[in-house]
């Protein structure tokens, strides 16, 4: 029957646990090494010759449509289907009924999946899913397997049901729609398929698979992707700049004298860095960013049009587009308890700062702080608790 040539990408969700970063856009377009997460999914499909793509979009869908268009610039053909209410993955898949061919792949738009992983499924002849062994299975669906056939799928088990987790990567035929009619989630539909006596083939991968659930996951993906970049200099490097490792500098950017940058690091277009700035590995800097003298940045993501004042220290931190940090800003990292959507996590992180914030001189954010969009923090404050959107700290 040949290889699968069509894929459905589920890209309708918001990602509430990533707020404030997803307040104005879906999580599939959050930047990883200066490209949307979803672009890596599209590129992996194209690398495997899967170029007919249906995207199921919903929340803030205009961001996806405006960026990807018809897919031509990415070497694919993209058709869009809208999921008006984000009720679940099976509900999302039902939106493409009648638009898919005999066999098709289904992928989540918020994961980093290598082409090698997809290659396992492009020759699948029946309903199939991909699994991977994980130490922590608590936030995934586990799959019980016997002789390569799925026996049971348990979503986010209270007690571990083995260590094989469902990656949300499938090969289906139109027969799957029989089981999605009364289901909201794909795991529920697949369990109905199993209970009906149908075969659900299981493939296991050892390749890299990374997903985004929490803000610190974005930094983890960013570090992974940056580990694969190639050096490129499209801007101006002044004398006495020290560059080590893989560093990409976009067109129109200037790295001023006495900067020290250790890759992997990517710097976008039309940035102004330095002088005397230190940028440590696993840092992504967007377009039109200004970083003033004597600032240190490590393992962080700076969105487009961010401004960083002099003598600042930024570690393990995400700063969204258009935010301004004035002089002597500090966001240091430390293992701390972070509360996200009512859940408590022990993580090593700096801060998450939403878009359009203004943080004035000599402000410190304690580790794990989340600052909402369009917040204003006046000079001299030490922020010890999360701030909602449009906060004013005087």
To which residue do tokens 């027969």 refer? 175
Q: How far apart are the first and last CA of the chain?
A: 67
pLDDT category at 167 given cuts 50, 70, 90 is confident
Please report the pLDDT score of residue 121 as a whole number. Answer: 87
pLDDT of 30 reads 93
Find out whether 294 and 327 touch, Cβ atoms under 8 Å. Answer: no
In this model, does residue 35 exceed pLDDT 90? yes
Residue 310 in this model has a pLDDT that exceeds 60? yes
In what order do the strands lie in the sheet containing 376-377?
Answer: 236-237, 254-255, 272-273, 290-291, 307-308, 324-325, 358-359, 376-377, 392-393
| Residues above pLDDT 70, as percent of the chain | 97
Query: What's the confidence (pLDDT) of residue 156?
Result: 65
Measured at the alpha carbon of residue 184, what is the angle toward residues 220 and 22, in degrees to the nearest 5?
35
pLDDT of residue 157: 56
Largest CA distance in the chain: 70
As beta bridge partners, residue 57 has 11, 82
Q: What is the mean pLDDT of residues 221-230?
A: 90
Task: Set out the domains of the chain in order of their start, with CATH numbers.
Answer: 6-213 (3.90.550.10), 230-393 (2.160.10.10)
39-55: b or e for each residue (b if 16 or more CB lie within 10 Å)? Answer: bbbbebbbebebbbbbb
Tell me the β-bridge partners of 347. Answer: 336
Place of tokens 């040539």: 5
Which range (20-34, 78-92, 129-143) has the least confidence?
A: 129-143
Average pLDDT over every residue of 36-62: 92
pLDDT of residue 135: 74
Check the CA dihedral 72-107-354-293 and report its sign.
Answer: negative
Range name among 128-137, 290-299, 312-321 with the lowest pLDDT average: 128-137
- State how beta strands 236-237 and 254-255 pair: parallel
For 126, residues 6+ apart whose C-beta sits below 8 A from its C-beta are 171, 173, 199, 201
**pLDDT band of 2, cuts 50, 70, 90:** low
Task: Name the range with the highest mean pLDDT among 12-21, 67-76, 96-105.
Answer: 67-76
Residue 161 has a pLDDT of 63
pLDDT of 160 > 60? The answer is no
Helix (H) or strand (E) holding 217: helix 215-226
Burial of 104 (0-12, 13-18, 19+ CB in 10 A): buried
Average pLDDT across the chain, whole number: 90
CA-CA distance, 11 to 27, in Å (whole number)?
8
Q: What pLDDT shows up at residue 149?
A: 85
């Amino acid at each position: 029957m040949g290889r699968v040539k069509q894929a459905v990408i589920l890209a309708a969700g918001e990602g509430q646990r990533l707020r404030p970063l997803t307040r104005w856009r879906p999580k599939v377009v959050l930047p990883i090494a200066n490209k949307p997460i979803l672009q890596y999914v599209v590129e992996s499909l194209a690398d495997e010759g899967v170029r007919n793509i249906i995207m199921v979009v919903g929340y803030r869908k205009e961001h996806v449509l405006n960026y990807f268009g018809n897919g031509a610039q990415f070497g694919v053909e993209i058709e869009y289907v809208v999921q008006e209410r984000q009720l679940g993955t099976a509900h999302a898949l039902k939106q493409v009924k009648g638009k898919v061919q005999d066999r098709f792949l289904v992928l989540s738009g918020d994961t980093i999946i290598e082409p090698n992983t997809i290659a396992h499924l492009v020759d699948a002849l029946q309903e199939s899913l991909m699994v991977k062994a994980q130490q922590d299975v608590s936030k995934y669906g586990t799959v019980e397997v016997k002789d390569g056939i799925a026996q049971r799928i348990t979503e986010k088990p209270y007690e571990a049901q083995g260590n094989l987790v469902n990656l949300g990567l499938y090969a289906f035929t139109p027969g799957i729609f029989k089981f999605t009619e009364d289901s909201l989630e794909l795991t529920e539909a697949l369990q109905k398929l199993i209970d009906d006596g149908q075969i659900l083939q299981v493939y296991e991968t050892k390749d890299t698979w990374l997903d985004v659930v929490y803000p610190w996951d974005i930094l983890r993906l960013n570090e992974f992707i940056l580990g694969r970049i190639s050096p490129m200099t499209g801007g101006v490097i002044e004398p006495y700049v020290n560059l080590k490792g893989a560093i990409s500098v976009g067109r129109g950017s200037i790295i001023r004298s006495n900067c020290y940058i250790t890759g992997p690091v990517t710097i976008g277009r039309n940035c102004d860095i330095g002088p005397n700035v230190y940028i440590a590995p696993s840092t992504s800097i967007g377009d039109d960013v200004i970083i003033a003298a004597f600032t240190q940045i490590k393992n962080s993501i700076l969105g487009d049009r961010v401004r960083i004042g002099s003598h600042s220290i930024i570690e393990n931190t995400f700063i969204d587009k258009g935010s301004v940090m004035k002089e002597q800003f500090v966001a240091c990292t430390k293992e701390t308890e972070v509360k996200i959507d009512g859940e408590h996590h022990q993580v090593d992180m700096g801060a998450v700062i939403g878009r359009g914030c203004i943080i004035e001189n000599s402000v410190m954010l304690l580790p794990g702080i989340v600052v909402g969009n369009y917040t204003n923090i006046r000079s001299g404050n030490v922020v010890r608790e999360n701030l909602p959107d449009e906060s004013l700290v005087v």
